[in-house]
Amino acid sequence: MIVKEVTDILEELAPLGQAESFDNVGLLVGNSTTKINGILVTLDTLENVVEEAIATNCNLIISFHPIIFKGLKKITGVTYVERVILKAIKNDIAIYSMHTALDNSTNGVNAKICEVLGIQNPKILIPQKGSIKKLTTYIPKDDAEMLKNALFDAGAGAIGNYSKCSFTVNGTGSYMGEEQSNPVKGEKGKLHLEEETQINVTFASHIEQRVLQALFLNHPYEEVAYEVYSLENKDQNIGMGMIGELIEPLNEYDFLSHIKLKMKVSVIKHSKLLNRKVKKVAVLGGSGAFAISAAKAMGADVFITSDLKYHQFFEAENDIVIADIGHYESEQFTKNLLVDYLTEKIPNFAIRLSESNTNPIKYL
């Protein structure tokens, strides 16, 4: 197996195109054609994680957080980031990062938190904007069905829990081939009218190349007439945070104790308890202060996240209980999620869960 084969499998779970624009995801160190001996899955790539990879003969590190986040002008080993990169390169170890591509996945970081805490029917809390596109094309009536199916196979036409969504209209297309043309229907130099079907489908912007390839491969015309639009609609299958329900409502104290136990947290910082039953719960692994208002707007009783500042706890406003469970703690099971996913996809391969606890924060 080569690096690219593994990262292609990971892209099915978390397409890099759905990562946030500020992020730095994908293959950060190494070559995509390198043959892999073993894979080590970690939350952060620190020096001791690279050492663990060397000791366990793993030459691909799958890291949730990207070790390179902003531009580097020197790699001299002065900072921990530079030392990690140097050590990885010296030892022919590739590093691949998923970060917000996996945060934004319906089977990612937050789905895992929901699973661990027993939160049912989780849905995206803040659906992503600007990631849906629409294709409109025109094709001779008899070929329309074939093209439509090819577009569906490429992943177009998925809306929420529905697939193969499209809208078609029949009409008349016109064209006249110029001197250099080779029209499949009609003759060059003569105005031609053709009974055509207009096909409309939406698709996630990160699969645009695949959808257009399906269009060009399955359209009979020499010159394909088509339009691609960016839509303002939000994608309910991509986005930050999730919200779902507990099977049985719990009182707030019991629910916080449940979080402590299941998420292996020694301390929870939380806003004032409101003496209400907890039914609806919103979660956002990692730094999630930006989602407090969304959690409130969606009617969550509790919002679980991390990295909250003093003033952000005031934003609870007696509407919600906000719980800061720690950044590492909130994302720790992401490692397990990735190991389980890869083990299912490539069963006879060395996939290791890193034994390093990379949490830089200690508690007294």
Q: Which residues in this chain contact Zn ion in the complex, by CB under 5 A?
A: 286
- With the CA atoms of 19, 51, 41 and 38 taken in that order, what torsion angle do they form, in degrees rounded to the nearest 10? 110
Q: At what angle do helices 3-13 and 334-345 cross, to 10 degrees?
A: 120
In the complex, what is the shortest distance from the CB of residue 44 to Zn ion, in angstroms, rounded to a whole number? 9
How many other CB atoms are there within 10 angstroms of residue 14's CB atom? 24
Minimum CB distance to Zn ion smaller for 112 or for 280: 112
In the complex, what is the shortest distance from the CB of residue 323 to Zn ion, in angstroms, rounded to a whole number? 16
Q: Buried (b) or exposed (e) across 189-209, using 16+ Cβ within 10 A?
A: eeeeebebbbbbbbbbbbbbe
Identify the three-state secondary structure at position 38: coil
Minimum CB distance to Zn ion smaller for 183 or for 286: 286
Minimum CB distance to Zn ion smaller for 66 or for 157: 66
In the complex, what is the shortest distance from the CB of residue 328 to Zn ion, in angstroms, rounded to a whole number? 8
What residues form DSSP beta bridges with 74? none
Minimum CB distance to Zn ion smaller for 241 or for 286: 286
Identify the three-state secondary structure at position 64: coil
In the complex, what is the shortest distance from the CB of residue 344 to Zn ion, in angstroms, rounded to a whole number? 24
How many other CB atoms are there within 10 angstroms of residue 240's CB atom? 22
Minimum CB distance to Zn ion smaller for 7 or for 100: 100
In the complex, what is the shortest distance from the CB of residue 335 to Zn ion, in angstroms, rounded to a whole number? 12
CA distances (Å), 42 to each of 167, 195, 328, 337, in order?
A: 44, 57, 11, 11
In the complex, what is the shortest distance from the CB of residue 327 to Zn ion, in angstroms, rounded to a whole number? 6
Contact (Cβ atoms closer than 8 angstroms) between residue 351 and residue 331: no
What is the Cα–Cα distance from 102 to 120, expressed in whole angstroms? Answer: 20
What is the Cα–Cα distance from 313 to 292, expressed in whole angstroms? Answer: 9
Minimum CB distance to Zn ion smaller for 158 or for 292: 292
Minimum CB distance to Zn ion smaller for 99 or for 133: 99
Measured at the alpha carbon of residue 233, what is the angle toward residues 232 and 239, in degrees to the nearest 5? 110
In the complex, what is the shortest distance from the CB of residue 278 to Zn ion, in angstroms, rounded to a whole number? 25
The residue with its CB nearest to Zn ion is 286
